[in-house]
Amino acid sequence: MDAHALSVRPVNGLSHVRGATDRPLLDATIPQFLGEVVRRHGERPAAVFCQPGERWDYAGLARRVDRLAAGLLALGLYKGERIGIWAPNRPEWLIAQFATARIGLILVNINPAYRVSELEYALNKTGAKALILAAQFKSSAYVSMLRELAPEMATCRPGRLHAARLPHLRTVIQLGPDPAPGAFSFDEVMARGQGGPRTRLDAITAGLSAHDAINIQFTSGTTGAPKGATLTHHNIVNNAISAARCMRLRPGEALCIPVPLYHCFGMVLGNLAAAAYGVKMVFPGEGFDAGETLHALETERCNAMHGVPTMFAAVLDHPDFARADLSAMRTGIMAGSPCPAPLMRRVIRDMGASQITIAYGMTETSPVSFQTAIDDPEELRVSTVGRIQPHCEAKIVDEDGRTVPVGEQGEFLARGYLVMKGYWDDPERTAEAIRDGWMHSGDLATIDAQGYCRITGRIKDMLIRGGENVYPAEIEEFLLTHPDIAAAQVFGVPDLRFGEEVAAWIIPRRPGVLSEDAVRAFCKGRIVHFKIPRHIRFVDEIPMTVTGKPQKFRMREIMVRELGLKEG
């Protein structure tokens, strides 16, 4: 039995575990981290963007990072200021991730699926001074949506925006060479940094602390408004290193990253974890496509792939899968929603990822706190989320906050370097989530005598659709803005493709005034597509407890029965 296995077992028969501490945490900022990566792996392939056909080594990535960092300085953007990024997986995203950190800007990740109201909230909540955005992606016309919020762009000089609805935003940077009026082009900003003195960049980097806030990621709130989880260099660099070690990534290997970069899964477990060991990052496309991902796995000889369960299932079910050569595949991470055991076994056997891992965590914990090891027995790799990561502490508690005995169910709590600084500009909800250093997850879990964790449910009524966290209260509040909706309750029901789907029970103000299609049409373009209810029922009343609380479990049971669905 190795020392790590002994160190992560519960003691005294209680569901309380601590990760190994034999390797010290890295006390480095992201630019210091990248500098060391370039020193060790400068000539190794760093990134391949399959759609535009761009390829860089790590030294080339660092040069692009410095050009953008110097360009952002030339625009008057300085340490501690917030800069949003609203774009799919494009080369500029990767550059921006490292360039903003180079000069201490706080990068605000904006979901590419956001619509106008969500963009407005994210920019104003964080007081973002600048925004990097794509012109459009799929059905999302980003520039048009921004103009809806800031019509003043049409007549302002780039960098001089003063918009009534976005009072903090001054600078808009558009990807590509032909920006809209009022915006800089990304290419122009890169050009401005061409002659930027590296000594100035190095001086700014030297003044940064690993414990500075560097990234804000929005996670929907159970009370409606999204919360901005604020992460530091120290949080995400060390979490990336731990995840990479768990997969035993090796220099020169290739990691396929079809997951979105706006989320921790892409930018931390993907980009930073790959960089930690000189691994090639492979981006199949701007968004997930099973065929493009399969092609990238084969042509780039990928050894690892990250994805939510639905992504792995889509690749396995692709018509060309049987003809693809995936002999290089070895590992990766499946996470983001419950990972079905039969799917895990298909990934191990059919995809050849014999060392695939499952990871568990949340944005607020940078994100991973538990992960299976590549040499764990297969049964444990397909039925648990593994054991605790190094320098992390976790426990399972009952409703009174007492640690429960091994094997008993309770709420999952985590503590350690990986816990966020807090929710941006939201001390009240920060205090609710973090108590005595413990991050309260809202997830129900058990820990066994060997230290393996199983996630058994959720205290909150959050549902997970295709890897996206969906909070019913947020949708309910939106539906109530419809003049013909008197009451609405939203919950999840099982779905074979997405794991869960959004269902809504609606009480109309008058009989016959609403249709399912009308409700969906009201939602379209106003909230993210994955929040739009797929199953809608118009009802006369909502089942309640004697104290007047909605009984969502009863609604779910009725819908499961009516729709002929199967749990699990």
- pLDDT tens-place string over residues 21-56: 999 999 999 999 999 999 999 999 999 999 999 999
Supply φ then ψ for residue 145, to 5 degrees: -65, -40
C-alpha 156/C-alpha 171 separation (Å) is 10
> pLDDT tens digits, residue range 178-217?
999 999 999 999 999 997 777 899 999 999 999 999 999 9
Residue 137 has pLDDT above 70, yes or no: yes
Poorest-pLDDT segment among 85-89, 540-544, 561-565 = 540-544
Residue 550 confidence (pLDDT): 77
Residue 397 has pLDDT above 90, yes or no: yes
60-227, which class in CATH? alpha beta
- What number of other Cβ atoms are within 10 A of residue 247's Cβ? 28
Residue 224 confidence (pLDDT): 58
Whose CA is closest to 411, among 385, 389, 439? 439
Residue 3 confidence (pLDDT): 44
Residue 221 confidence (pLDDT): 47
CA angle, 292 as apex, 286 and 294 as ends, to 5°? Answer: 135
Stretch(es) of the chain classified as CATH 3.30.300.30: 463-563
Whose CA is closest to 47, among 261, 325, 290? 261
Residue 338 has pLDDT above 80, yes or no: no
Residue 552 has pLDDT above 90, yes or no: no
> Does the structural domain 463-563 have CATH classification 3.30.300.30?
yes
Exposure pattern of 57-86 as b/e (b: 16+ CB <10 Å)? bbebbbebbbbbbbbbbebebeeebbbbbb
CA 306, distance to chain mean position in Å, is 12
CB-based contact 216:106 (threshold 8 Å): yes
Structure tokens belonging to residue 261? 């970069």
Residue 373 has pLDDT above 80, yes or no: yes
pTM: predicted TM-score of the whole model, two decimal places: 0.86
> pLDDT tens digits, residue range 451-505?
999 987 777 777 889 988 787 878 988 898 899 998 899 999 999 889 999 999 9
Tell me which amino acid residue 298 is: E
Stretch(es) of the chain classified as CATH 3.40.50.980: 60-227
> pLDDT tens digits, residue range 221-252?
444 578 999 999 999 999 999 999 999 999 99
Instruction: Quickly list DSSP for 451-500.
Output: S-EEEEEESS--EEETTEEE-HHHHHHHHTTSTTEEEEEEEEEEETTTEE
